[in-house]
Amino acid sequence: MYPRIDADSDPAALDAADPLAGYRDLFALDDAELVYLDGNSLGRPPRAVAKAVAELLDGTWRTELVAGWDSWVDLPTIAGDELARSVLGASPGEVLVADSTSANLYKLAAAALAAATPDRRVLVTDDDNFPTDRYILAGIAEQFGATLRIVRTDIDTGVDPEAVAAAVGADTAVVCLSHVAYRSGALADMERISAIARDAGAFTLWDLCHSAGSVPVELNRCGVDLAVGCTYKYLNAGPGAPAFLYVRKDLQSRLRQPMWGWFGQTDQFAMGPEYRPVEDIRRFSVGTPPISGITAVRAALEPTSRAGIGALREKSVALTTYALALIERRLVPLGFRVATPRDPNLRGGHVTIEHAKAWQISQAMRRAGIVPDYRAPNRVRLGFAPLYNGFGEIARAVEGIADIVASGAYVEFDDAVSRVT
Ligand SMILES: *Cc1c(COP(=O)(O)O)cnc(C)c1O
């Protein structure tokens, strides 16, 4: 499919051989010259999203008014089933689109802790997990009288299954980790770690924010109990689009989430006196679902679904392989260090490079029309979205970074890090 890739590859030949090249046209590209390498923070807008949301706002909402709820009410599970099938390796009825990743993590971790036997009061995570995950787990530990045990992880190589094995035992209720590390892009061994947690009698809870839509996720095959993730990164559903949650089928009736909202209620519109949650995935809903957001999730998913996660992963590996080859040749001699695993089987869709002046360099990159992310400490993160990034863009980005560093153009930027990075 893709010709052999090294630093001498011709980017135009790689783009010409790319079977997914045509998908770029499905996105709104106001500035086609802009090299946008931040789709793992906020995906570019698929044209179909604006159209689908406009049809809701100017169409169904206006014409049907409150009667629209007859069909809208099922959208959280319809969109959930679509995500389950195309990117999560889950079964119908196991995924719900709702709330934010943070809120879903809270609901599922608290539900799992409550369902664990009383002698299991330990939540396990790692020190490189995404901040919201660590804070939410710490909050749950404090609110429900549990203990948060934090495994040490190398921030470049990612979570070590042996370290997880050493941290779990007869006292463990939940093991919560990220599938792809937000900083380095390291890909965790979901199957092995889930087996370790299961053998110890603990529930597994995976955060899929950086893997959904980029790396094949096989929740059923890996025997995962619970998972959460967002839709605005590789899934391109837009800023603040609703997140998803997954609960393995046979656990659904056993788990009770901490927020007893009316959308989880049996016979909701009977407005009954007490909370009796439905038996299925909808018991993890809380309140009125965000219909415009779910409409965006469904429209945004269509190109991903059509391309297929296998083909997307193949291109993603080709993109990161090419980027690393060029970084090795052009940027390592200029003082960069690669902070992402070299083995493609051990990384997700982004590449992180470290440099003492990373913050200033990332600002100079933006001015030069190359959009990266800065991540503490001293890292420039380059995200490659296989639906719209190409090989020519990578060559331009690496040359652009080399120019900025070789010319010293970054020194004029403030070295005080801003609030949003
Ligand atoms: C982006 C991201 C989040 C974001 O959570 P929100 O509730 O949407 O703010 C959570 N976890 C990981 C691993 C992320 O990368």
Mean pLDDT to the nearest integer, 235-249: 98
Q: List C-alpha distances in Å: 45 to 30, 129, 293.
A: 10, 28, 13
Mean pLDDT to the nearest integer, 256-279: 95
- Rounded to the nearest 5°, which phi and psi values hold at 282? -65, -10
The per-residue pLDDT for 419 is: 76
| Nearest CA among 236, 227, 301 for reference residue 75 | 301
- Crossing angle of helices 101-115 and 131-144, in 10° steps, is 40
| Nearest CA among 163, 216, 161 for reference residue 193 | 161
Q: What is the pLDDT of residues 377-409, one digit of tens each?
A: 999 999 999 999 999 999 999 999 999 999 999
Strand 244-247 versus strand 122-126 pairing type: unpaired
Q: What is the pLDDT of residues 114-166, one digit of tens each?
A: 999 999 999 999 999 999 999 999 999 999 999 999 999 999 999 999 999 99
CB burial of 353-375 (b: ≥16 within 10 Å; e: otherwise) equals: bbbebbbbbbbbbeebebbbbbb
Compute the distance from residue 230 Cα to the ligand 1 centre, in Å: 6
The per-residue pLDDT for 418 is: 77
Q: Is the pLDDT of residue 421 over 80?
A: no
Q: Is 130 one of the annotated active-site residues of the chain?
A: yes
Q: How confident is the model at residue 415 (pLDDT cuts 50, 70, 90)?
A: confident
Which residue among 132, 184, 187, 208 is best mutated to probe the pocket of ligand 1, counting the most ligand atoms within 8 A of its Cβ? 132
Residues with CB under 6 A from ligand 1: 100-102, 130, 132-133, 178, 182, 207, 209-210, 230, 243
Q: What is the pLDDT of residues 24-83, one digit of tens each?
A: 999 999 888 999 999 999 999 999 999 999 999 999 999 999 999 999 999 999 999 999
Give the helix ranges, DSSP H, for 145-234: 161-167, 190-199
Q: Could you give the CA distance from residue 290 to residue 281 in angstroms, rounded to a whole number? A: 17
- CA 243 to ligand 1: nearest atom: 8
410 DSSP 8-state letter = G
Q: Is the pLDDT of residue 2 over 90?
A: no
Q: Is 267 one of the annotated active-site residues of the chain?
A: no
